[in-house]
Structure 1
């Protein structure tokens, strides 16, 4: 066991994953999903360390790194047979951990009989091409697999794992005490540039060369290996060029026509590649709605966000808070907190140039329930009515409350019966991130109760 790994504080999701693994009545394998380097392997190692501390015999624990070169070409069936000889039957549960399982074809078909016929086995598999894995586990293993998505670090997790001085703290549910906005903004700038990946956030060595960590260890492995293996992509350079273009334009509106002209790749191919990049959790599309919050029937434009703003640093270098690009990274970071909270997000644009809203949240019936305009500036605090698109949207949809981010100031104003609250982007990021973690844990408790009740 890697002692350096175990020195890292476990993420908040360790307890729910442990409960899924250890609960005998579930009779399901756990599928731990998420992008590369968000801490799936670290979480598995923490689980193994906990098992050993609780007295489980090490011979009853098997960890397999499935993308190891020595395992290429070996079937999962034969691997499991070898495991049987190394870890023979006996009293009590046995624990199998298969890391980066997507590198093996039809993994779910091989694991399904084990789940069905071996109640003594506790199985956890992990993989980076999250959407593809989720599709496979849902279609081929109905009732046999439980998916658990591990997202990049939220801002609140980042501060907790780094044990930063408490510039902000949650006094009780959704009530915060802000002690030092200057310090919090420094921490937020650091998070925007480096914070989504635990190793990049916590290791000075890794942070000294983020380009190597992000590009070589994350982007290249996904673009050059994972996606070509999963989807049979032949022209890897096309895929890489498109991703680089999308990453550089994170938080901006694009279209298939525009992307085709700028990349030289056909529109149909671009559409497929974007779906693949979403499956690997590198990007996320957000679709446009009109002033009533309705999707356009023939909409060609959409926004693309990196799922983790630290990817931008790895590709193009860190940005200072006064650089023009930093505003897009702030929007990317705030989007990521809300997206991982499970919010249904679109953006609104209609009519004139001033008629747009950065993020619109909708109910399950697609009715607008919230609006957020993202600024990295304090210039609108005293004149929120200058946020014309936001004002028009909340008036049209009769929203009682809307939000706008600032750089360092708070503001609140009633405009035509609606309350517009302006909070620093760092405070909003902390709030959204804390809510995302809390919501995920609450959803998990409800899910487990449903399984075991």
Structure 2
């Protein structure tokens, strides 16, 4: 316990609270059991430590990482029990997916230690979701942390305090950037390349991002789905195909032939890759039956992944659509438009460059042209970067 507490205090001392992720203010931190999911590298650990600092609850809190060698001979439940006896109130367990059957012991904590508030998070979205949906389904409140938006990137890099803008505010041009950002395009281009992941300032960023992707494909998905090692190679080929498509319209038979898998397995691969935060599947409808609708297009989950998986030279049209979907799906239900690119709450969006025409939305009520490479919008023409202010 003393060793774990020393590690906790050391990490807390090195935690900066100047920039805090969007999800922090949305979590009901007084809940007894919170599960935070999110793809690898999006900042879950930092958010937990920041919350402890901001809530000024260091004396009654303990942060532990379940991958610590300490847990080769000690159980999570034993630590929680000892902490509880010392009048501990808030236990934060990071990398919990690396502890075998973690959800069983967390359930025991919830049931047997009623005064203890527990927050768990981990990098393997699949395993976290599996546990939360099974043993903890009636006990845990689950939140998902996405990568950084353009708004967050600006706040992080420029020291601004831009608030989120709703979709209605964006389409009515009711948004604004501070005076110290007179020209957003250069910053927007930087965001597309690296800004989705908070660790972009670290050395060899793309190498680190490749490691994140490989860990997800080689460890997280195969472990969750009980796949053999050869399957990870098929997953990599599938990701490669998606990354170089314009955009990718799935044909299960052709894909199965291309990666050497059967047609049924390919559908499962898409589900696993989406749950792991690598891809986004765009469906034909935006109603409540969306899960039953046919998939129209498949994109990588974010623009930074587009750049990393295409050697820094992504198809520009695919990159723009990926950015729009990545930024809008956090707060909105996004579907494929029958006449254009995207449909959100009865509004149709056609995404393109500065020379994009309005032909495809001329006969559509509530149609908008989303243009990249422009600083300002007018009437139903909106700059693509503005949608990055949505969360």
Provide the rounded CA distance (Å) in 2 between the counterparts of 1:123 and 1:78: 15
In the alignment, which residue of structure 1 is the partner of 2:137? 142
Aligned partner of 2:342 in structure 1 is 359
> 1:253 corresponds to which residue?
249
What residue in structure 2 maps to residue 268 of structure 1?
Answer: 264
Alpha-carbon distance in structure 1 between the residues aligned to 2:247 and 2:67:
33
**1:313 matched to which residue of 2?**
307
Distance 1:78 1:330, change over 3 A: same
User: 5 Å matches for 1:149-228?
Assistant: 149-163=144-158, 175-177=174-176, 183-200=183-200, 203=201, 205-206=202-203, 209-216=204-211, 218-228=212-222
Tell me by how many angstroms 1:379 deviates: 4.2
CA distance, structure 2, for counterparts of residue 253 and residue 132 of structure 1: 28
The equivalent residue for 2:21 is: 11
Where in structure 1 do 4 or more consecutive aligned residues deviate above 6 Å? 165-170, 179-182
Is 2:350 the partner of 1:373?
yes
Partner of residue 122, structure 2: 127
Q: Does 1:111 align with 2:106?
A: yes
Deviations 1:376-411 (A, max 9, x none): 22342xxx2x2x3x334x2xxxx3x11111131534
Alpha-carbon deviations, 1:199-255, whole Å to 9, x = none?
A: 11xx1x43xx23211111x10111111112211111221122212222333743232
Counterparts of 2:40 and 2:18, CA distance in 1: 17
Structure 1 residue ranges without an equivalent (≥5): 350-355, 363-368, 413-420, 438-453
**Given that residues 254 and 302 in structure 1 are in contact (C-alpha distance below 8 angstroms), is that contact kept between their aligned partners in structure 2?**
yes
3-state DSSP of counterpart to 2:250: strand
Which residue number in structure 2 is paired with residue 346 of structure 1? 335
Partner of 1:40: 44
Say if 2:96 and 2:102, in contact at 8 Å, map to a contact too: yes
SS in 1 for 2:362: helix
The CA deviation at 1:147 is 0.6
CA distance in 1, matches of 2:180, 2:246: 29
Contact residue 405 and residue 428 of structure 1 kept, 8 A = no
Cross-structure match for 2:368: 403
Q: Which runs of 5+ in 2 are unaligned?
A: 1-9
> Could you tell me which of 332, 344, 353 is aligned with 2:322?
332
Report if aligned partners of 1:250, 1:332 keep a CA contact under 8 Å in 2.
no
Give the TM-score taking structure 2 as reference length. Answer: 0.83
State the structure with more CA Rg. Answer: 1
What is the rounded CA distance, in whole Å, between the counterparts of 1:67 and 1:266 in structure 2?
36
1:441: which partner in 2?
none
Please say if residues 169 and 177 of structure 1, whose CA atoms lie closer than 8 Å, have aligned partners that are also in contact: no
Distance 1:169 1:264 in 2: 44
Secondary structure of the equivalent of 2:176? strand
The structure whose residues are more often strand, as a share, is 1
Alpha carbons 1:103, 1:229 under 8 Å: kept: no
Q: Structure 1 length normalisation: TM-score?
A: 0.72
Does the Cα contact within 8 Å between 1:128 and 1:280 map onto a contact in 2?
A: no
Kindly indicate whether residue 65 of structure 2 is the aligned counterpart of residue 98 of structure 1. no
RMSD of aligned C-alpha atoms? 3.3
**Any conservation in 2 of the 1:63–1:96 contact (CA below 8 Å)?**
yes
Distance, in Å, in 2 between the alignment partners of 1:425 and 1:37 is 25
Change (3 A) 1:251 1:127: farther
For residue 362 of structure 2, the aligned residue among 391, 409, 412 is 391
Cα deviations by residue, 1:261-281 (Å, 9 ceiling, x for unpaired): 332332212111111111111
Note if contact 1:31-1:147 (Cα within 8 Å) is conserved in structure 2. yes
The CA distance in 1 between the partners of 2:47 and 2:367, in whole Å, is 37
- Number of residues paired by the alignment? 370
- Paired position in structure 2 for 1:418: none
Shift of 1:131: 5.3
Q: Secondary structure at the match of 1:189?
A: helix
Q: Is the 8 A contact 1:29 1:123 kept in 2?
A: yes
- What SS does structure 1 have at the residue aligned with 2:337? strand
Asked if the contact 2:327/2:387 (under 8 Å) is kept, the reply is no
Q: Distance in 1 between matches of 2:161 and 2:70?
A: 46
